[in-house]
């Protein structure tokens, strides 16, 4: 091969390369470097190029965090301006530029959150106004809705500024949720006030409304606040913020019911006059029939519960981190292209070791790499990439040089000259090689040497200096059918003398799945027990308290089964559907029970309170339903599933709840 290169006409560069390296040591080293970088290669600039040479990956490590949104905006603006300067030349050569990474994702998230909030406010307000007008034939209820809503939402936002550094796409949705929840109290208060106002003067009507509905509102709002407080104990930051802020808003709402609503009634007495009766005889007839045929209704409910329980028991968990990204994300699309072009995979991971100085860190990384190479030979791994090919530890360099000296290279020069002469070469043309072979002592390569400049990009990816030492990473890709957690288990068993951190998307998703399993059980049982305690404290009857929780509990099981039947699973966002439906769904049963205890007739209770139940449920469904329009698929699923579950809770409050209450009172 070397002879053919030397004979090639006009190929002076090739001839120089052969003179410098007739033994082919440079290609051997290059293959080692390529193996260290996986399917990528290194451009002469130090950037990472794809194996086909058609894509170049430029890595940047900004000084500030991506959560500093002002810094991120300025950073991306500066980068785009720099690209714009050479944009015409890039287009001439068919070069396209894309951006991804945490900074690009942060800007997309901010824009998506802003757009979602605007959509929630405008659409939800319009639909709620339509619901109010359809329910009352006028909009006189608006003062009872807007003032408390503004107060609870603004105070919750103020609390977020005090207790949280920032909000994310999930936690900001508390505004839409609180929008629907806080309206319920206003609807029930206003409907009852209108009914009392037909027989009593305003002051007495307000007093009776508070006395008759105060207990029910306290229980309903407290149970909702309680489940969101339980959500606030979540280990997921966005979910916890959502729970804390909504629980705080509901606590404010309880105070508003006894203070702000009466004040509004006296400040605007004209709003409390309405000729429309507001009764719902059809719902009354349904509730009466279900009460008379309680055993039949409960049997049907039991059948539905068994079928749903079978489906719910087989539900999976959606721990895919990419499902939390907004749909149509350019940064996510670029990320996927990089993954395909540069040979990365979702199962890839890294082993990180730390030490106070670079030499110890490199030695520890080499010990880990040595064990991973054994797994590679056993077929457990698809690839292993380490910095040792470009920057071995000085210990390893000395060992390699010692083995090289055992070959006695200075004494072998004569043998090499003779072999080259016999092969038809002129040995004098290769003096540069002989000089290097005879050199002694041979210098060691150290971190930061100018000779390593062409490899600065991959070295910077694998070696990170810090204030307290160095971190060195060894990258690996498990073989098909092998999980990263299995490699971590084996590695910790086989390399016990080194402290290490094994990380990767696979491990994160497995940990997320374990967290989801724990939290869904905690959310369900915690919400159930806490709601039961609150209701029992008011009613002092355990059987009756359990009956009121029967409807939302059944709805939760149905919704979990629905996740299974539509091919989804419990994820970080729709996880809160479980406590949410228990906390909100029980409100409908509590308000129905309040009327039932007052009239002793399920039909009369539904006739008098059905309109308030329907309007409050529809407005809450609107608050959640418009989350279904979010650009975040996970958040959209939460909104759609919650709206469907609340519809089932409303239906259950006038069908199953009358049957349960009727049977409970007979017992």
The 10s digit of each residue's pLDDT in 524-536 is: 898 899 889 988 9
- Cα–Cα distance, 621 to 623 (Å, whole number): 5
Q: Which residue has the higher pLDDT, 327 or 368?
A: 368
User: Cβ neighbours of residue 287 under 8 Å, at least 6 residues apart?
Assistant: 592, 602, 603, 605, 606, 610, 654, 655, 658
Which structure tokens are listed for 201? 């003067």
Give residue 39's pLDDT: 46
Give residue 569's pLDDT: 81
Collapsing DSSP to helix, strand or coil, 495 comes out as: coil
* Average pLDDT in the chain: 81
- Cα–Cα distance, 570 to 548 (Å, whole number): 26
- Cα–Cα distance, 606 to 616 (Å, whole number): 14
Q: How confident is the model at residue 305 (pLDDT cuts 50, 70, 90)?
A: very high
DSSP result, 290-328: HHHTHHHHHHHHHHHHHHHHHHHHT-EE---GGGGSPTT
Give me the residues paired with residue 466 across strands: 469
The 10s digit of each residue's pLDDT in 104-122 is: 888 877 777 777 767 766 7
563 and 641 Cβ atoms separated by less than 8 Å? yes
- Cα–Cα distance, 328 to 633 (Å, whole number): 10
Task: Determine the average pLDDT of the residues in 148-153.
Answer: 81
DSSP result, 516-579: HHHHHHHHHHHHHHHHHHHHHHHH--HHHHHHHHHHHHHHHHHHHHHHHHTT-EE-TTGGGHHH
Asked if residue 166 has pLDDT above 80, the reply is: no
Which structure tokens are listed for 554? 């059944």
Q: Which residue has the higher pLDDT, 344 or 567?
A: 567
Asked if residue 45 has pLDDT above 50, the reply is: no
Q: How confident is the model at residue 43 (pLDDT cuts 50, 70, 90)?
A: very low
**CB 180: neighbour CB atoms within 10 A?**
27
513 and 563 Cβ atoms separated by less than 8 Å? no
Give residue 10's pLDDT: 47
Distance of CA 650 to the CA centre of its chain: 30
The 10s digit of each residue's pLDDT in 411-434 is: 677 777 888 788 777 777 777 777
Q: What is the DSSP letter of 628?
A: G
536 and 387 Cβ atoms separated by less than 8 Å? no
Which structure tokens are listed for 341? 């072009």
- Cα–Cα distance, 140 to 274 (Å, whole number): 9
DSSP result, 343-408: T--TT-EEEEEEESSHHHHHHHHHHHHHHHHHHHHHTSEEEEE-GGGTS--HHHHHHHHHHHHHT-
Counting residues of the chain whose pLDDT is more than 90, the rounded percentage is: 19
The 10s digit of each residue's pLDDT in 471-498 is: 999 999 999 889 999 999 999 999 998 9
For residues 593-627, one letter each, b for 16 or more C-beta atoms within 10 angstroms of the residue's C-beta and e for the rest, the string is bbbbeeeebbbbbbbbbbbbbbbbbbbbbbbbbbb
463 and 447 Cβ atoms separated by less than 8 Å? yes
Which structure tokens are listed for 319? 């721990």
User: Cβ neighbours of residue 479 under 8 Å, at least 6 residues apart?
Assistant: 379, 380, 381, 382
Give me the residues paired with residue 107 across strands: none
Give me the residues paired with residue 381 across strands: 478
Distance (Å) of CA 33 to CA 27, 50, 374, 388, 650: 10, 14, 19, 9, 65
Give residue 44's pLDDT: 43
Residue listed under structure tokens 């090289």: 404
Give pTM, 2 decimals: 0.74
Q: Which residue has the higher pLDDT, 556 or 59?
A: 556
For residues 499-514, one letter each, b for 16 or more C-beta atoms within 10 angstroms of the residue's C-beta and e for the rest, the string is ebebebbbbebbebbe
The 10s digit of each residue's pLDDT in 579-601 is: 888 888 888 888 888 888 888 88
Collapsing DSSP to helix, strand or coil, 357 comes out as: coil
188 and 256 Cβ atoms separated by less than 8 Å? no
- Cα–Cα distance, 156 to 139 (Å, whole number): 26
176 and 157 Cβ atoms separated by less than 8 Å? no
């Amino acid at each position: 091969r070397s002879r053919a290169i030397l004979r090639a006409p006009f190929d002076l560069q090739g001839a120089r390369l052969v003179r410098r390296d007739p033994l082919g040591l440079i290609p051997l080293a290059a293959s080692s470097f390529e193996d260290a970088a996986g399917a990528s290669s290194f451009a002469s600039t130090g950037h990472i190029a794809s194996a086909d040479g058609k894509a170049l990956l430029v890595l940047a490590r900004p000084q500030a965090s991506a959560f500093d949104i002002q810094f991120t905006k300025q950073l991306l603006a500066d980068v785009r301006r720099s690209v714009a300067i050479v944009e015409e030349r890039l287009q001439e050569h068919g070069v396209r530029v894309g951006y991804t990474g945490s900074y690009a994702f942060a800007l997309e998230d901010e824009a998506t959150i802003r757009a979602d909030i605007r959509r929630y406010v405008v659409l939800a307000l319009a639909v709620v106004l339509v619901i109010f007008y359809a329910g009352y034939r006028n909009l006189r209820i608006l003062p009872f809705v807007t003032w408390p809503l503004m107060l609870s939402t603004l105070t919750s936002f103020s609390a977020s500024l005090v207790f949280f550094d920032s909000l994310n796409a999930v936690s900001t949705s508390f505004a839409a949720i609180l929008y629907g929840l806080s309206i319920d109290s206003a609807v029930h208060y206003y409907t009852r006030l209108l009914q009392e106002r037909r027989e009593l003067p305003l002051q007495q009507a307000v007093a009776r409304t508070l006395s008759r509905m105060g207990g029910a509102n306290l229980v309903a709002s407290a149970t909702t606040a309680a489940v969101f407080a339980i959500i606030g104990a979540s280990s997921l930051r966005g979910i916890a913020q959502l729970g804390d802020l909504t629980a705080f808003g509901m606590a404010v709402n309880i105070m508003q019911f006894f203070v702000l609503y009466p004040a509004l009634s006296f400040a605007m007495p004209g709003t409390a006059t309405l000729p429309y009766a507001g009764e719902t005889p059809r719902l009354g007839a349904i509730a009466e029939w279900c009460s008379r045929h309680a055993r039949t209704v409960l049997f049907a409910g039991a059948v539905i519960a068994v079928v749903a329980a079978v489906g719910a028991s087989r539900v999976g968990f959606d721990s895919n981190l990419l499902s939390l990204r907004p749909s149509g994300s350019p940064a996510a699309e670029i990320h996927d292209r990089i993954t395909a072009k540069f040979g990365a995979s979702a199962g890839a991971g890294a082993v990180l070791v730390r030490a106070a100085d670079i030499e110890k860190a490199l030695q520890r990384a080499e010990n880990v790499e040595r064990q991973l190479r054994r797994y590679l030979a056993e077929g457990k791994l698809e690839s292993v990439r380490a910095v040792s090919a470009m920057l071995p530890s000085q210990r390893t360099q000395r060992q390699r040089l010692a083995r090289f000296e055992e070959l006695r290279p200075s004494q072998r020069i004569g043998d090499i000259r003779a072999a080259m002469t016999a092969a038809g070469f002129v040995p004098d043309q290769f003096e540069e090689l002989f000089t290097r072979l005879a050199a002694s002592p041979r210098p060691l390569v150290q971190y930061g040497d100018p000779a390593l400049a062409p490899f600065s990009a991959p070295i910077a990816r694998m070696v990170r200096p810090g204030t307290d030492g160095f971190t060195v990473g060894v990258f690996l890709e498990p073989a098909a059918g092998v999980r990263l957690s299995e490699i971590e288990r084996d590695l910790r068993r086989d390399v016990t003398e080194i402290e290490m951190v094994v990380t990767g998307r696979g491990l994160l998703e497995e940990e997320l799945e374990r967290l989801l399993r724990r939290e869904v059980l905690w959310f369900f049982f915690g919400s159930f027990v806490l709601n039961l305690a609150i209701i029992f404290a008011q009613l002092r009857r355990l059987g009756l308290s359990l009956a009121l929780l029967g409807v939302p509990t059944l709805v939760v099981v149905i919704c979990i089964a629905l996740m299974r039947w539509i091919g989804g699973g419990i994820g970080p966002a729709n996880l809160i559907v479980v406590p949410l439906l228990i906390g909100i769904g029980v409100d409908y049963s509590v308000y129905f029970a309040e009327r039932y205890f007052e009239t002793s007739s399920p039909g009369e209770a539904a006739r008098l309170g059905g309109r308030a139940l329907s309007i409050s449920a529809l407005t809450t469904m609107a608050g959640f339903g418009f989350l279904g329009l979010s650009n975040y698929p996970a958040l959209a699923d939460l909104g759609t599933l919650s709206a469907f579950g609340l519809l089932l809770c409303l239906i259950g409050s006038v069908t199953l709840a009358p049957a349960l209450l009727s049977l409970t009172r007979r017992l």
